[in-house]
Homo-oligomer: A and B are copies of this chain.
């Protein structure tokens, strides 16, 4: 069951208000053409202030008023932020890491495998599900938990589950485990399944990575468990979703390392995402496109934007027009909703300066009026624009074990990355994603288990951890004629981060027509060769040489007294291998070359003019033209079409001018 309605609204917390003002708020929402609120995921302690004492009156009041004002409801399970009496009663619910047991206070610092936690979480959830039944006609969907984390839990109980799972995975063969994980190293050999080492202190990157994978699996299992409970209550028309978030560099940046989102999304009918990004002069739309593409990847379908910023952080206060531009950017990626976190700015506690639509004075303000205009526009055009069908010729392969692999074994071979290095997995991925984005090549994200057959080009960023099965999948893609871009650090280790002990890239040298066994960190090394590479090699140089027989063609090599013999870019057939990290220009240069080879048309327009396309529910093609810039920008119409906002016909070849942070929408291009 996935929602059919276009949704426009926000998270709403009556509980956080200095004094209740639901009528005033719901009236303002309706005036702004909003039709949905998301509630209840953060306030367990309001529903159950003391153990066993339930009080859902504020929830029921919200529901009653929502019915009165005609607002839909998405209701969250109140499970990710827990009341203090729970950890007072059972301290083991708090996560324990190598720094010790967490102190109560922050959300998500919970061991979601803990039985006591599960018991009380289930009880409050069932109570809530029972009590809200009368409102099932306005409750359109459920949200499982919220940005679920397993909190880096490494207490004894959860480690026992891990050890048990490892024992099962290896069918009890301890020797096989010790060998695969290289436990002999520094005398870490595991003596028995029962005396499994405490992962909190391990120096074994394979073991720590396996534990991180386990912590991701725990989330998927938790979601399935929540879904099972909800299934007992929900009506056939109510959907289940979750708001998946992203890796964070002060804003949404790339794949979320702590969740296997595609796996967790199995428990959802439709994926939800929350996307936060810089604005003002730093607004590019790239995070919206990245987050949207991940949103589409999870169910191979449309997705909901369950959270995005209205005002957000102080540095994000939007320029006039940017809120509209951002909202349409979400829509153009195939979103079915635009929902803000949150309605009102909070007066206490922690996120006081993560501002909602309304400022702290709770009055209509510039963001409110701009969103009202957008609301009106979308209300009229939802059938034209919401839930667009998106297709692409180009895909990028994402892999969480590889992300962990690069964290554990960073390019410079030194300290593990702490999640925000210039050359971590997501930054390497973003180089290629952003190059596509800026060239107006819309891309999909795919996972190793997906069907790749519909794509002409597959970009493989930093697939450090690749099982034999994944490698076979890539071989098959190439053997079927697909164009592949293999970037540095690919196919170096297996799924347990055990480095392959034959020629790199493992199982692929016949297709790359090249191999290497050494690499280094470049310092001011440029390029020579047929590609027009103007920058410097970054991060790593893999010393690729063509195979002596059936070797690839070197397109570019290094301008260096000793490494001039090595290939920076080498091609054999449809496989293009890149041996170093390239800057923005050079990444685009390689990409253009591959796209041309694959017969993919590269649009004339490029960033800051962004073009995004889809097919609407009526079967019409829709084209959005966005200007992510302080300056006006020109664009030349590529097909006869109709301007959605004016209704005017537009001719191919006509030159239009977009205002700063402006946009155009055309039907039928």
Contacts and interface: CB of A to CB of B under 8 A. Distances in A.
A316 B521 CA distance: 8
Contacts of A562: 319-320
A45 to B, nearest CB: 4
Contact of A103 (B51, B98, B498): B98
Interface stretch (A80-88, A262-270, A602-610): A80-88
B185 A348 contact: yes
B103 A315 contact: no
Contacts of A82: 187
Contacts of A198: 103-105
With a 10 A CB-CB cut-off, give which of A78, A188, A192, A521 has the most chain B CB atoms. Answer: A188
Given A84-B195, A347-B182, A202 B518 contact: no
Contacts of A397: none
Interface stretch (A354-362, A446-454, A585-593): A354-362
With a 10 A CB-CB cut-off, give which of A83, A349, A630 has the most chain B CB atoms. Answer: A349
A414 interface: yes
Given A16-B182, A190-B84, A311 B518 contact: yes
A348 B498 contact: yes
Contact of A281 (B409, B500, B523): B523
A409 B317 contact: no
With a 10 A CB-CB cut-off, give which of A82, A280, A315 has the most chain B CB atoms. Answer: A315
Given A204-B350, A498-B348, A83 B517 contact: no
Interface string A350-382: 111110000111110111000000000000000
Contact of A18 (B49, B205, B501): B501
Contact of A191 (B50, B81, B521): B50
A350 B205 contact: yes
Contact of A200 (B51, B103, B250): B103
A73 interface: no
With a 10 A CB-CB cut-off, give which of A102, A317, A412 has the most chain B CB atoms. Answer: A317
A200 B597 CA distance: 60
Given A187-B83, A198-B104, A413 B45 contact: no
A133 interface: no
Contacts of A362: 501
A305 interface: no
A528 interface: no
A201 B518 contact: no
A553 B408 CA distance: 59
Interface string A56-94: 000000000000000000000010011111001000000
Interface in A491-532: 493, 496-504, 517-521, 523
A349 B182 contact: yes
Interface in A311-336: 311, 313-317, 319-320
A181 interface: yes
Nearest to A524: B281
A349 B313 contact: no
A564 to B, nearest CB: 12
A130 interface: no
A184 B311 CA distance: 22
B498 A18 contact: yes
Contacts of A84: 188, 190-191, 195, 197
A346 B84 CA distance: 47
A612 B413 CA distance: 33
Contact of A205 (B107, B348, B520): B348
A647 interface: no
A43 B360 contact: no
A492 to B, nearest CB: 8
B182 A45 contact: no
A203 interface: yes
B106 A540 contact: no
A607 B518 CA distance: 30
Contacts of A346: 182, 185, 499
A16 B367 CA distance: 61
A204 B359 CA distance: 20
Contact of A412 (B281, B314, B493, B498): B314
Contacts of A517: 359-361, 363, 365
A537 to B, nearest CB: 13
A299 interface: no
A254 to B, nearest CB: 20
A65 to B, nearest CB: 18
A264 B577 CA distance: 52
Contacts of A616: none
A167 interface: no
Given A315-B521, A520-B317, A562-B320, A186 B349 contact: yes
A5 interface: no
Contacts of A487: none
A423 to B, nearest CB: 11
A206 B496 CA distance: 46
Contact of A49 (B179, B191, B347, B502): B191
Nearest to A180: B348
Given A182-B346, A204-B349, A361-B503, 19 more contacts: A45-B184, A45-B187, A45-B191, A51-B191, A82-B187, A83-B189, A88-B195, A102-B201, A105-B203, A186-B350, A314-B413, A317-B518, A348-B498, A348-B499, A353-B409, A353-B413, A361-B504, A365-B517, A366-B518
21 contacts: A13-B184, A16-B184, A49-B191, A50-B191, A98-B103, A104-B198, A105-B201, A204-B348, A205-B352, A250-B414, A313-B412, A314-B412, A319-B562, A347-B500, A348-B499, A353-B409, A354-B413, A361-B503, A361-B504, A363-B517, A561-B630
Q: What 6 pairs between A and B have smallest CB-CB spacing?
A: A182-B348, A103-B201, A353-B413, A105-B201, A45-B189, A359-B517
